[in-house]
Amino acid sequence: MLDKPNTMSSFWMPFTANRDFLREPRMIHSAEWMYYTSSDGRQIMDGTAGLWCVNAGHRDPLIVEAVQKQVHELDYAPNFQFAHPQAFELSGKLTAMMPEGMSHAFFTNSGSESVDTALKIALHYHRMRGDSARTRLIGRERGYHGTGFGGISVGGIVKNRMHFGTLLTGVDHMRHTHDLDRNAFSRGCPAHGAELADDLERIVALHDASTIAAVIVEPMAGSTGVLLPPNGYLQRLREICDHHGILLIFDEVITAFGRLGAATAAEYFGVKPDIITTAKGLTNGVIPMGAVIVSDDIYNSAMENADAPIELFHGYTYSANPVSCAAALAALESYEQNDLFRRAALLSQPWEDQLHSLKGLPNVIDIRNLGLVGAIELAPREGAPGARAYEAMKRAWDAGIMIRVTGDIIALSPPLIISEPEIIKLVQTLGEVLAELP
Ligand SMILES: Cc1ncc(COP(=O)(O)O)c(C=O)c1O
C-alpha cells in the first residue's frame, strides 16, 4: 500500500468540480494576512476570508501561538463527564458577546453540526416541557444550513437536497426573500419584502402552531448567494414566532464574529432569537469548531425538566477540545484587541461605494451589500446556468483575487482587516475581469 502513487484524484474534493479542477488546479501554498501565495508563487488577495471564516486575516500570531502552546500543554481531554478549564473560559467569553439572556454554549466542530445540534435542542426543549407534539421544523427556500441531514432538510438549495433521498420528515419551507424586480441594486437591506415573513402564518395555518418546534433562518443568507433580509422582515418573523410559541433559530455561521460590523446579526438587526448557531469565525478558521448558543430559558428548562441525570443525550468527541478552545479564545481576543467588528462597521460604507461602482458592467444584473459582504449577480448564459460566474472565478484567480461563486452570483466577504486601498484593488480587479467576461 505504501508505494501506491499519489495521484491527485485520491482527494475527492468537497463542493468542487473535481474533473475540471484536476485539469487546471488552483493550488495554495501559504498565506499571510490578506494574501495567499499560490504554488506558482503568485500573491492572491483573499476576497472571501477563506470560506467566510478568516475574519482576523491569515496566520494571526496571537492564534498561532495559542494553538502551539495548547498542543504542548493539553492536547486532548474528553468533555463527557470530565472537562478542562479552557472550555469554561471560552463559554464565558463567547456568551458575553451574545445578546442578553443567551449565556449558555454547546460546542460542536462545524456549522453543519451546530445546525443539527440546534434543531435537536429545539425538539428536546419542547418534549421536556411536555409539549411533545411540537416536532415540525421550518426552514426557508434557498437557505443553506450545512450538509448534515438536518441541515439539508431545513435548507432550501435544490442541488444539496435532490440526491439524498427523503431527508427528515415533518419539515416545511417558507418562501425566500430574493426579489430582483423590486430590489435590484439596493444598498444595504432591501426596502421591499417584509411581508414575506407572513409566509410563516401560511405554514402555521396548514399544520397548526402546536405541531411546530422551530423556525431556522440565516439572518443574512450567505452561501446561497447573499440574500439580504428586507427591512423589517426579521422583526416580523420574531413576532410571529412569539405569537405561536415557536422557537426562532438564527443560523449565524457566517454572520457571527463581525461580518456585519457587530458581534452577531442578532445584535446588528436588534432581533433576539432563541438559539444562535456559529462556527467559522469562532476560531478564525484555524481549527474546526462550532458553538450553539441558547437562551437561558432553554438551558434552565433542560436543567429543570430533564428526564435523566444526563440532560441532553448529544455531543461530539471533539466538542470543546482544548486546542479548538485555545484557537477560539485567541480569535476572540484578536477581534477585541484589534476592534475588528467596529472596523468592519466603519469600512462598510467605502465597501458599498466601491462595489456599486461596478454597476453598468456587462451582464451585471444586481449588486448588493451589507457589512463587509457583497454580491454581484450576473445574467446566466443561455442554457448554461452558473457557467458565467464560474469562469469569472477562474479568471479572477488568474488575475490575483479569490472570489466565491454560487450559481451566477459572485460573493465577496474579505477578512475584516482589509484596508481601503485593498478594497479598491479587489473591486477594480474584479471589474477588469467582468469587463472582459463573455
Ligand atoms: C449559514 C451556514 N450554516 C451552516 C454552514 C455549514 O458550515 P460547515 O461547512 O462548517 O459545516 C454554513 C457554511 O457555509 C453556513 O453558511
Cell numbers found for residue 224: 446561497
How many angstroms does the Cα of residue 94 sit away from the middle of ligand 1? 19
- Mean pLDDT of all residues in 117-129: 98
Q: What is the edge-to-edge ordering of all strands in the sheet holding 35-38?
A: 28-32, 35-38, 43-46, 401-402
- Mean pLDDT of all residues in 312-317: 98
Q: How far apart are CA 403 and CA 49, in angstroms?
A: 9
The pocket around ligand 1, CB under 6 angstroms, is made up of 110-112, 115, 144-146, 218, 222-223, 251, 253-254, 279
Looking at ligand 1, which atom is closest to the CA of residue 221?
1
Looking at ligand 1, which atom is closest to the CA of residue 148?
11
Beta strands in 295-384 (DSSP E): 364-370, 373-378
Tens of pLDDT, residues 214-266: 999 999 999 999 999 999 999 999 999 999 999 999 999 999 999 999 999 99
Q: How far apart are CA 109 and CA 114, in angstroms?
A: 8
Question: 116, 223, 284, 324: which to mutate for ligand 1, most atoms within 8 A of CB?
Answer: 223
Predicted local confidence at residue 29, as pLDDT: 96
Residues recorded for the chain: 438
Share of the chain above pLDDT 70, in %: 99
Question: 16, 54, 144: which to mutate for ligand 1, most atoms within 8 A of CB?
Answer: 144
Instruction: Indicate the pTM of the whole model.
Output: 0.97
Predicted local confidence at residue 7, as pLDDT: 75
Is the predicted pLDDT of residue 4 greater than 80, yes or no?
no
Q: Are 246 and 216 in contact (CB under 8 A)?
A: no
User: Could you identify the residue written with the cell 493539553?
Assistant: 74
Give the pLDDT band (50/70/90) at residue 377. very high
Going by CA atoms, what residue is nearest to atom 14 of ligand 1?
223
Tens of pLDDT, residues 147-172: 999 999 999 999 999 999 999 999 99
Looking at ligand 1, which atom is closest to the CA of residue 218?
1
Give the chain's mean pLDDT. 97
At residue 304's C-alpha, the angle toward residues 300 and 305, to 5°, is 115
How many angstroms does the Cα of residue 205 sit away from the middle of ligand 1? 30
Is the predicted pLDDT of residue 3 greater than 90, yes or no?
no
Q: Which domains does the chain have, with CATH numbers?
A: 8-56+339-436 (3.90.1150.10), 64-337 (3.40.640.10)
Tens of pLDDT, residues 176-213: 999 999 999 999 999 999 999 999 999 999 999 999 99
Looking at ligand 1, which atom is closest to the CA of residue 51?
14
